[in-house]
Structure 1
Amino acid sequence: MADWALKRFWKTASVADIDGGFTVHLDGRPVRTPAKNPLVLPSRAMAAAAAAEWDAQEGEVRPVTMPVMRGANAAIDKVSVQKDEVAALIAAYAESDLLCHRADSPEALVARQAAAWDPLLDWARDALDAPLIPVAGVIPCDQPPESLRTLREQVSAMDAFTLTALHDLVGLSGSLVIGLAAMTDIQPVETLWDISRIDETWQEEQWGVDEEAAEVAEAKKRDFLQARRFLDLTRFS
């Protein structure tokens, strides 16, 4: 059987107020998620961005071009129904956070990691009350239990839409600290992405750029920046 694909059937996508938030209407009919749940969005800004994605579709609907809708669907259909599990998965990154695993050589790479990563660990210690211990090598070390507990509590307190954004920020960067920092304005989100790629950048400087790997990295960067945009849309009125 051929795969069924949704084709554009509506003329206008619009934003509507509903109980609990905002939604998108297609010619006056409310959009639902793939699991048939009501599309209840936390801000008018997110609903407007989602409506714009629907309006941009021509012919066959292409979900890959609708990152706000995909994020909203994930938050409603997946994250909200297993919130504790998702929060635990994200918080567990602190046990082996990228920023805590340093090279032991060469000196130039060690220095570059320290210059970029130490300030973020200092921020986690001071702003999040969660000091973490950096070590040389990839073998995990036991991080302070109180720090892990504090970070777990902070992540668990987030709503489903925020967790959806954080899930991507952390998973793509490999660091809970970077993900949490990307939710703030302590550094530009583009800078934080570059900080997460120090090891890869170093390898490229030594051995040259692999075009296929560079394309994958660029796609991940777009997703990282989109996760921050999705987070911002949850905050705007």
Structure 2
Amino acid sequence: MSGWARKRFWKTVEIVEQDGGFAVALDGRAIKTPAKAPLVLPTRALAELVAAEWRAQGDTINPDTMPATRAANAAIDKVRGQFQEVAELLTAYGGTDLLCYRADGPEELIARQAAAWDPLLEWSAARFGVTWNVTSGVMPAEQAERTLARLAAHVEAFTPFQLTAFHDLVAMPGSLVIGLAVTEGQSTPEDLWQVSRIDEDWQMEQWGPDDEASALAERRRQAFLDAARFFAACA
């Protein structure tokens, strides 16, 4: 059965225990991924997220309203078979982490970045036993191999489902530290998203809002928050 049939064809959505996890069944038939693998979730909480999306569909299925289902499919069909490559890709964000690249002016922007970003770097340094090199302007900041190795070990301990969510938690803000802060409950996902938007918000204050940029930012924000919910449900 295809997970992406265009028209709604089911009446009931149930969660059933299956293969050491939880499946979502439509009229008694378990959903499969686009690659035809069994869609088995590791926790009931994840299954509830997926089931709620299927229950909420109208006459026509809209994949855009099903982020948990899409993430579960990706975890099974893609990330599970490419785990190391994905883990390395995300760890590499630490080498150019947003929080390590600061403005060289004006003073108000410099102060905003320091107030929001320094505590997160300090937290991650203490939590993971790493050090960060911070720069300003266009100068690159090379991070120590030991720092990236320690963070890589932490990322590689995630499950494929966690790593799938972690992708958007890192890629959307452009920060490995912010992604890790979400997974560790260092602050709320909404607050951490706002932390990542300091530069953009500053520009908007100076030049006014741009409708296209605002729409893109909202889509990225929603993807970030959806990923945070998915990660939390993995436990």
Paired with 2:55 and 2:22, the residues of 1 have a C-alpha distance of 17
Matched, 1:168 2:168: yes
Aligned residue number for residue 109 of structure 1 = 109
Paired with 1:5 and 1:52, the residues of 2 have a C-alpha distance of 17
2:183 maps to amino acid:
M
Aligned residue number for residue 49 of structure 1 = 49
1:184 deviates by 2.1
2:53 maps to amino acid:
E
* Residues 180-213 of structure 1, C-alpha deviations (whole Å, 9 max, x = no match): 0011222121111011010000001111111111
1:198 maps to amino acid:
I
TM-score of the superposed pair, with normalisation by structure 2: 0.96
Contact kept in structure 2, 1:7 and 1:60, CA below 8 Å: yes
* Residues 16-57 of structure 1, C-alpha deviations (whole Å, 9 max, x = no match): 001121000111111000000111101111112211211111
Give runs of ≥4 in structure 1 deviating > 6 Å: none
1:153 deviates by 1.1
State the SS of the aligned residue for 1:14. Answer: strand
Aligned residue number for residue 121 of structure 1 = 121
Paired with 2:226 and 2:53, the residues of 1 have a C-alpha distance of 14
Aligned residue number for residue 147 of structure 1 = 147
2:20 maps to amino acid:
G
Paired with 1:49 and 1:124, the residues of 2 have a C-alpha distance of 30
2:80 maps to amino acid:
S
C-alpha spacing 1:178/1:138, structure 2 compared with 1 (3 Å) = farther
Paired with 2:33 and 2:5, the residues of 1 have a C-alpha distance of 15
2:148 maps to amino acid:
L
Paired with 1:197 and 1:138, the residues of 2 have a C-alpha distance of 19
1:138 deviates by 3.7
Aligned residue number for residue 219 of structure 2 = 219
Paired with 1:95 and 1:12, the residues of 2 have a C-alpha distance of 48
Contact kept in structure 2, 1:14 and 1:48, CA below 8 Å: no
1:137 maps to amino acid:
G
Paired with 1:13 and 1:91, the residues of 2 have a C-alpha distance of 38
Aligned residue number for residue 20 of structure 1 = 20
Matched, 1:181 2:186: no
Aligned residue number for residue 94 of structure 2 = 94
Paired with 2:192 and 2:78, the residues of 1 have a C-alpha distance of 27
Aligned residue number for residue 68 of structure 1 = 68
Paired with 1:59 and 1:138, the residues of 2 have a C-alpha distance of 52
Paired with 2:78 and 2:203, the residues of 1 have a C-alpha distance of 37
What is the aligned length?
232
Paired with 2:27 and 2:187, the residues of 1 have a C-alpha distance of 41
Paired with 1:84 and 1:189, the residues of 2 have a C-alpha distance of 26
C-alpha spacing 1:138/1:37, structure 2 compared with 1 (3 Å) = farther
C-alpha spacing 1:144/1:23, structure 2 compared with 1 (3 Å) = same
1:5 deviates by 5.0
